[in-house]
Amino acid sequence: MRRKALYILLFFCCCFTTGSAQQKTDSLQNIVNGNASVTSRISALEELADIYSTKNFETAIVFADAGLKLSLSAKDSNAAGTLNNIKGKSFYLKGNYDSAAFFYSTALNFLHHVNDQKARAEVLNNSGRLYRKLKDYNKALSMYNEAFDIYFAANDDDGMATIYNESGVVFEYMGDFNEAITRYSKSLELRKKLKDVLGESYSISFIGAIYVKQQKYTEAALYLQQALQLRRTLKDSFSTALSITDLADMYGAKKDYQKAFAYYDSGNAMAMQLKYPQLLSENYFKLSQLWELKGDASQSLAWYKKYTSVKDSLLSDKKFAQIEELNTKYQTEKKEEQLMMQRNELRQKNFLLALISIIFLLAIVLAFSLYHKRQIRHRLQLQVEVMKQQDIATKAIIDAEENERRRIAADLHDGLGQMMSAAKMNLSAFEQRIPFENEEQKVSFENIIKLVDESCREIRNVSHQIMPNALLKSSLAGAVKEFIDKIDSKVIKVALHAEGLNDPIDKNTESVLYRVIQECVNNVLKHSGANYLDIALIKDADGISITIEDNGKGFVESDPNHKTGLGLKNIISRVSYLKGTIDFDSTPGNGTLVAIHIPVNR
């Protein structure tokens, strides 16, 4: 696990040389200490903090703090987010994971207010690495997935390749080797597309390491040799040393000690030439373990002494204690075997006693669980029956309401509407036979006819609103269009988008949805103060989705009063009747979005 994390970190750092880095830091510090603009000084501090984030953590934090002070005074949220990300990375490499998590979270908060998605993806990637380190693999994958979506939307192949490798490590740690190989392979495809040979070598090396863990040594050797060849072609000494060590690890796992020792010797020589003590100490430790497996405690002790002489992170007393421990083990091997036998006998007795206790406890738990399950099953049956009765009652109410609407609409249209039409015709005919004494009488009579004509139209409009002809004759989309066409565009502009509604829908469902949309639109007209309304009706394999969005004054979602009105209660009850879901998204001054989804199988 440490080797995998080391590969990923050094992959991003291996391109820098000491000389060129020093020249760049000097130039950046001149900008910071000079009379440059605030923006230039912030950018220079960002670069300095990033350069030192993998070299000198304390220095990186100092530069980041200076940059944060300037960016906050300049109200530069983008720079503040980037600098908090660098601080988080520095604390992560220091091993202060709680501080790293805090600064990553702060960075995401700043970047939420700007449109720098690439910077946000980088923070998410770093956060994923942190949670991976903490073994919270679900959280790590959540971060990686969000970062991948950003890179995918931006068509950023380099970013996607990085996430494939990073998330592949998570699945490797979880023991899901097939998924890990799949992700490493996808990263490899993208690296080939980008012609990034060094990146290819890392993906190939990761795949080879998986095959070693699966004990598929033939496949592992092919991949690890291929990675070594690529790195030798690039003349990259550091990555070449890593590949040689990978092959040594493989042959060690395979117990081909002769080849393992040969590769370790070659890798150690390169590590000494590169002045890379960490790789050297790891190799010495593995050599100590291999010699111990071979049964040569003397050689194991010798290599362990070399390991402790290089590994300066351990205290001297502890090093000598470990060496002495190996020496004692070498001299008292037979006594250890006797003690181990005694311990095993004691463990067996303790295990038997614990097993009996566990079986007894499990029997009690099982009896309680069965009793509890029976209670839960009974309660569920009652709940199902109550819900069933509620559905029947709701359906009866809605059906009765729809039937009453149809009856009233028919009475208005066929009864009162026809009578008013007949009255108009009689008045028109009567007009021809009346000798008007003056023009004023004629105008008054014509106004009476106009009033009757307007009453006819009003009756027709009311009957169509109660039960629109388009809903009876054609479809939901046609009925909604007919409804919004009657809204005055000078008051509010309404846009309608309908998709997938050509296939027939259950008439009862159409009727309920029409009422819901009608009520939502009426609420917008009455309460929102909006001048634009967008309605979308989409039917697909999952069901019917409806969104109604306005640019009005909005409301506070947490306020319980906004759902107490009769109109909203009707909307919610009708959607519930169709087994659907409804969500409201609104803040004061930002309009309101109503999202409704009716599943296809109810």
322-336, 399-413, 452-466: segment of lowest average pLDDT: 322-336
Please say if the pLDDT value at position 19 is more than 80.
no
Structure tokens at 323: 């060496």
Residue 410 sits at the vertex; the CA angle it makes with 405 and 415, to the nearest 5 degrees, is 135
Please report the domains of the chain, with CATH numbers, ordered by start residue. 474-599 (3.30.565.10)
- For residues 525 and 513, give the distance between their C-alpha atoms in angstroms, rounded to a whole number: 18
- For residues 47 and 329, give the distance between their C-alpha atoms in angstroms, rounded to a whole number: 52
Q: How far is CA 374 from CA 364, 378, 382, in A?
A: 16, 6, 13
Q: Percent of the chain, pLDDT > 70?
A: 78
The segment with the largest mean pLDDT, out of 316-320, 423-427, 431-435, 578-582, is 578-582
Residue type (1 letter), 578? L
State the alpha helices, DSSP H only, in 432-490. 439-466, 469-473, 476-485
- Return the pLDDT at 381: 82
Neighbours of 446 (CB within 10 A): 13
Question: How, if at all, do strands 493-499 and 532-540 pair?
Answer: parallel
Give the orientation angle of helix 237-253 with respect to helix 277-294, to 10 degrees. Answer: 20
- For residues 77 and 119, give the distance between their C-alpha atoms in angstroms, rounded to a whole number: 12
β-strand partners of 592: 550, 586
Q: How far is CA 602 from CA 256, 549, 577, in A?
A: 63, 26, 10
Give the orientation angle of helix 157-173 with respect to helix 177-194, to 10 degrees. Answer: 160
Cβ neighbours for 9, distance < 8 A, ≥ 6 positions apart: 54, 93
DSSP H/E element including 229: helix 217-234
pLDDT tens for residues 360-377? 888 888 888 888 888 888
Given pLDDT bands bounded at 50, 70 and 90, which one contains residue 9? very low
Three-state secondary structure call for residue 597: strand
Three-state secondary structure call for residue 436: coil
- For residues 327 and 325, give the distance between their C-alpha atoms in angstroms, rounded to a whole number: 5
Residue type (1 letter), 25? T
Query: How many residues in the chain?
Result: 602
- For residues 101 and 115, give the distance between their C-alpha atoms in angstroms, rounded to a whole number: 22
Residue type (1 letter), 402? E
**Is residue 53 within 8 Å of 90, Cβ to Cβ?**
yes
End-to-end CA distance of the chain: 48
Residue type (1 letter), 74? A
- Return the pLDDT at 475: 75
Please say if the pLDDT value at position 316 is more than 60.
no
- For residues 105 and 88, give the distance between their C-alpha atoms in angstroms, rounded to a whole number: 9
Three-state secondary structure call for residue 267: helix
Name the CA dihedral angle for 264, 270, 274, 279, rounded to a multiple of 10 degrees: -10
Structure tokens at 169: 């490590």
- Return the pLDDT at 344: 76
Per residue, the 3-state secondary structure of 361-374, as one string, reads HHHHHHHHHHHHHH
Three-state secondary structure call for residue 113: coil
Neighbours of 93 (CB within 10 A): 15
Structure tokens at 77: 């949220």
- For residues 166 and 184, give the distance between their C-alpha atoms in angstroms, rounded to a whole number: 9
Given pLDDT bands bounded at 50, 70 and 90, which one contains residue 384? confident
Given pLDDT bands bounded at 50, 70 and 90, which one contains residue 458? low
Residue type (1 letter), 420? M
* Placement of tokens 């009657």 in the chain: 486
The residue that leads in pLDDT, 342 or 166, is: 166
Whose CA is closest to 202, among 165, 176, 238? 165
- Return the pLDDT at 327: 35
- For residues 130 and 542, give the distance between their C-alpha atoms in angstroms, rounded to a whole number: 37
- Return the pLDDT at 579: 83
- For residues 89 and 119, give the distance between their C-alpha atoms in angstroms, rounded to a whole number: 14
**Is residue 421 within 8 Å of 442, Cβ to Cβ?**
no
pLDDT tens for residues 195-250? 999 889 989 999 998 999 999 999 999 999 999 999 999 888 878 988 999 999 99
Residue 326 sits at the vertex; the CA angle it makes with 323 and 332, to the nearest 5 degrees, is 140
Whose CA is closest to 4, among 124, 177, 257? 177
How far is residue 143 CA from its own chain's centroid?
6
Neighbours of 486 (CB within 10 A): 10
Structure tokens at 113: 């207010």
**Is residue 476 within 8 Å of 510, Cβ to Cβ?**
yes
Three-state secondary structure call for residue 500: coil
